[in-house]
Amino acid sequence: MKYATLAVHGGLKDESHQAVTYPLYLSSTFIQPDSEHFQAYGYSRSANPTSASVEKLVADLEGAKHAFATSSGMAANALVFELLEEGDRVLISSDVYGGTWLFTTQLFAKRGIEFEVVDDFNTYDFSKAPANTRLAFIESPTNPLLTVMDIRRVAAAAKARGILTVVDNTFLTSYLQKPLDLGADIVVYSATKYYAGHSDLLAGFVVLNDDTLYERLRIYSKALGGILDPLDSFLVSRGIRTLPLRMDQHNRNAERVAEFLSSHPGAEKVFYPGRRDHPGRDIQAKQASGSGGVLSFRFNESEYDLDRFVKSLRIFAFAVSLGGVESLICRPATMTHESYSPELQQKLGITRNLLRVAVGIEDPEDLIKDLEDAFAAAKR
């Protein structure tokens, strides 16, 4: 089946009642047939039918063998980081989600794990990575500066040194990009975003092919208990049914908004991989079928008042997150990447006038008019 068909018809099938929608199993425990035989489901922390259905659906959409559904995107990251042991070293992109950075800087040290910040994975020399390097963690495009990583190049170079490559693919989903096909070992998602798509739940996914890694992660998942509950599993499955339609509209709208901002004096610089002036555009076009619904831009504070701009927006909401049907704007320096030190923010370019835009699925003319009106109200 093609992707859009699989999004509607994938997952487990209800064999008992032939329900069109896979049932919601809210039970925490399941009756076993006898003292010697045990069915696939015993206790929902280990496995639940509804959760198993969305896991199969996500794995199938990725073209992968295995998937774990977790209670949030950070729970997905935390599960993967359980593969590390004391003395291991992690390579991590300098431009990553603030929660990932918080985990790296606050929890790795107490676990005896080292990390190295890599400014540009596209030119990083893996042959010089220390012998204890076990994992490379990247995003592409990155959050919030939309830097594009050459996933195939990074994965191949890492694999040659026995280093696992983990890709956070939240911005694009498997509809637009499949890191496993590009050589990555593990893909993680904040399914809170595009997979669920409606800003009404928290969820995460870990997707992979390696059977040995899967067995290790399965034990860690059972021990940690950070699983996705059945109701949210059901809701994510429902969201995925419209994922291709939504992603197409997010992508189209983001292209329109990026084009508008690039020609408006209120935006000093626009960051979006779909633009011709983006340095990673060629790589993006090679490894993905779109650029997604997120962009960022530097607000021109010399000519416009940022606070008045934000307060004048009527359709765009000033809030964190992304991937819902509604359009959002946030300031990463104080809202999503506040765990970065001021010095690191300055070095990376996460300035106080950088705004991240999560473009929703509304009519693009309305979105552009909202921005135009807000700029007009904010003119100094």
Catalytic residue check, 45 = yes
Q: Phi, psi at residue 356, to the nearest 5°?
A: -100, 130
Of 22, 25, 41, 97, which residue is the catalytic one?
Answer: 97
Q: What is the CA radius of gyration of the chain?
A: 21
Of 56, 134, 153, 193, which residue is the catalytic one?
Answer: 193
- The answer to whether the beta carbons of residues 129 and 159 sit under 8 Å apart is no
Euclidean distance between CA atoms 69 and 258, whole angstroms: 33
Euclidean distance between CA atoms 124 and 149, whole angstroms: 11
Catalytic residue check, 356 = no
Catalytic residue check, 277 = no
Q: Are strands 267-271 and 89-93 parallel, antiparallel or unpaired?
A: unpaired
Q: Tokens in use for 352?
A: 């106080």
Question: Distance between alpha carbon 141 and the CA centroid of its chain, in Å?
Answer: 10
Q: Tokens in use for 358?
A: 């999560």
- Closest-CA residue to 170 (of 146, 142, 145, 189): 189
Residue 51 Cα distances to 20, 25, 114, 186, angstroms: 17, 9, 34, 20
Tell me the sheet residues that pair with 6: none
Catalytic residue check, 128 = no
- Catalytic sites, residue numbers: 45, 97, 168, 193
